[in-house]
Amino acid sequence: MGNGPEFVTRLASIGSDLYAGGSFSTENGSPGNYIAKWDGSNWSTVGSGVQGSPDTRVFALTASGKDVYAGGKFTTAGGTGANNIAKWNQTNWMALGSGMNGPVQALAVSGSDVYLGGAFFSGGGNSAQHIAEWSRTNWSSMDPGLNGTVYALATSGSTVYAGGAFTNAGAASAKYIAQWNGTNWVIPQ
């Protein structure tokens, strides 16, 4: 079991299946390893879940098609090395490149792109100041990024909104919320 209380931090659904992620290591008496699936009748494990240090957590979940993306603080997913971000394809866990160098706190999807926010400074070995984009096979930074942790993300087409504990988005002064227009950071009006 992890340190401290056990709780659910995020939910995501695919069809009638509900995925729950958090700080729990069991669900209904069965091993859960921080992520579990409810099919409307029963809880089940999602592969062998995620693992890492005693403070392993799933902070973020999102679904796209039949894929579930889990972000948090972990080093493996289903026994595969996965630094703080992984994808479940209904059969196996997969790493997204070499992952992030710090916890992933927020996830959002737009088309085939997955956006990550959190307390990290690099993704896939590239600079990524608290926010990054995964485009199926590689990482892109949304530089110059944000100067504090991102806790919430939302997308509308190619526009990405970020919320968190930051005061700058790129060169712009941004009090806790900013908008990425695909090229630059702007402040929502």
pLDDT, one tens digit per residue, over 125-140 is: 889 999 999 998 889 8
Residues 6 or more apart whose Cβ sits within 8 Å of residue 137 = 97
**Domains of the chain, residue spans:** 96-186
- Say what the pLDDT of residue 95 is: 95
- Say what the pLDDT of residue 24 is: 85
**Predicted confidence (pLDDT) at residue 162 exceeds the cutoff of 90:** yes
Torsion (CA) 130, 136, 139, 145 in degrees, nearest 10: -40
pLDDT, one tens digit per residue, over 86-122 is: 999 999 999 999 999 999 999 999 998 999 999 999 9
Identify the sign of the CA torsion 175, 171, 147, 149: positive
- pTM for the full model? 0.92
- Say what the pLDDT of residue 124 is: 85
pLDDT band of residue 1 (cuts 50, 70, 90) is very low
Phi, psi of 87 (to 5 degrees): -120, 135
pLDDT band of residue 30 (cuts 50, 70, 90) is low
pLDDT band of residue 3 (cuts 50, 70, 90) is very low
- Type and span of the H or E element at 44: strand 43-45
Residue 93, CA distances (Å) to 76, 97, 117, 121, 164 in order:
9, 12, 20, 24, 28
**Predicted confidence (pLDDT) at residue 28 exceeds the cutoff of 90:** no
